[in-house]
Amino acid sequence: MSRNPIALVDVNNFYVSCERVFDPSLEGRPVVVLSNNDGCVVARSQEAKDLGIETGTPWFKVKPSAAAWNLVARSSNYELYGDMSARVMEVVGRFGTWQEVYSIDESFLGLTGTEGQLREIGEEIRAAVARQVGVPVCVGIASTKTLAKFTNRIAKQNAAMGGVCSLDSMPVGQVETIQERVPVTGLWGVGARTGDRLKAQGIVSIADLKRADPLAIRKKFSVVLQRTVLELNGTACIPHTEERVDKQQIMFSRSFSTPVTTLEEMGQVFSIYAQRGAARLTAGGQCATMLTVSAGTSRFAGGDASFPAVTLRLPAPTSDPIVLTRLAVSALRGMIVPGTSYVRAGVMLGGLEPARGQEQFDTFVDDRESLDLGGLLGSVRAKFGDTAIGLGAGGLAEPPGWSMKRELSSPRYTTEWEDLPVVSAR
């Protein structure tokens, strides 16, 4: 193991695990979580996987068999999953010298210690998350991020390891055997298309890629895949988040449960989406310099689908929800055709840069910027829920008719007062 071992902590079947924390009756039963508007399966419990249900399967195809299979479906409860993710990451972060939250259910962690100590830390992480949040995690420990992801996979697929695997604790021959058996597409960052190209070069397994010449891989593929080869051989070369270039855009886009046909309704859509985008800017300490609004019709409705969009350059970098909402709503006037059935829309904030104090004599910065309205709205929503406050349509207590359909949603147990679990002692 290098002097800077890396752990990849990943929640098992994250969406389903979050649902089971507050509904123990789901334990041991096949459970699926559905996409926006309850369209397709996006998450599955192990029991659902064992039934042969694939990710992306339309719910209408599975629903007729649900009763016979004792299958439970849940709509995506983004409020619950986001809050549970934050809790998991906070607990996990206590154990590392640094932390990079890679996704809603995964986090890289810098560790220190001997081989025996690293195993103990992994077990402590699992126990702490289970005790304080209630969801199961697996921990993979190795010298690079790519190897940590690979090791986490080993931990998940081998119950005897107890959810923790440190690569250096495994016999070299055993690791090599696994790498010979696992296809290269089972590796982090290698998709099906790249896998086909690699196969044409005689590179089928992870072991094959590990033995490949990094310079030849860079020439024929990319520097990204070259880094993968180097990481498989123990050279850490994928930087941490803080070393990367900041993300350059924030996108808030959704499909509608029922088509939107009027300027008034689309104004509500853009108003709400712009405010959500502004909240993300404020949370990330960023400002936007570009705003793009878009909408789309269905390709199944007959005729050609249309995807009109308008991009505006902002007069000054901003995260002000009033400015962004006003511009987003004004942009729809020349873009939306009343009477047309739109099934999706989005607001994208681009050209992001770090937020900074208002500069002296800058006549293009609105005085409201200094009031931090975005931060104020965000703090109120965080404490009292998404519908507690907003601008215009963003403050509607009841969701509009076009809102995303979530007929099978569980309560927002941790973010809404009325949904808090009630325990009765007898």
pLDDT band at residue 375 using 50, 70 and 90 as cut-offs: low
Q: What is the three-class DSSP state of 66?
A: helix
Query: How is 393-419 classified by DSSP, letter by letter?
Result: GGG-SSPPTTSPP-TTPPP-TTT-GGG
The verdict on residue 99 lying in a domain is yes
Per-residue pLDDT tens over the stretch 253-301: 777 767 888 888 888 888 888 888 888 888 888 888 888 888 888 766 5
- 100 & 125 share domain: yes
- 263 & 382 share domain: yes
**Domain containing 45: what range?**
1-170
User: What are the tokens at 234?
Assistant: 């123990």
Where a domain ends, among 170, 188, 215?
170
Where a domain ends, among 129, 153, 170?
170
The verdict on residue 376 lying in a domain is yes
The verdict on residue 422 lying in a domain is no
CA distance 156 to 189: 18
The verdict on residue 339 lying in a domain is yes
Q: The CATH number of the domain where 318 resides is what?
A: 3.30.1490.100
The verdict on residue 218 lying in a domain is yes
The verdict on residue 285 lying in a domain is yes
Per-residue pLDDT tens over the stretch 143-196: 999 999 999 999 998 888 899 999 988 888 888 999 999 999 988 888 888 889
- 16 & 80 share domain: yes
Q: Are 259 and 360 in contact (CB under 8 A)?
A: no
Q: The CATH number of the domain where 217 resides is what?
A: 1.10.150.20
pLDDT value at residue 244 = 40
- 54 & 88 share domain: yes
- 192 & 294 share domain: no
- 155 & 176 share domain: no
pLDDT value at residue 389 = 63
Q: The CATH number of the domain where 142 resides is what?
A: 3.30.70.270
Where a domain ends, among 145, 170, 195?
170
- 329 & 340 share domain: yes
- 52 & 64 share domain: yes
- 152 & 280 share domain: no
pTM over 0.75: no
The verdict on residue 425 lying in a domain is no
Q: Quick one: average pLDDT of 101-111? A: 87
- Residue 309: CB partners within 8 Å, gap ≥ 6? 292, 293, 294, 295, 335
Q: Quick one: average pLDDT of 226-255? A: 74
The verdict on residue 317 lying in a domain is yes
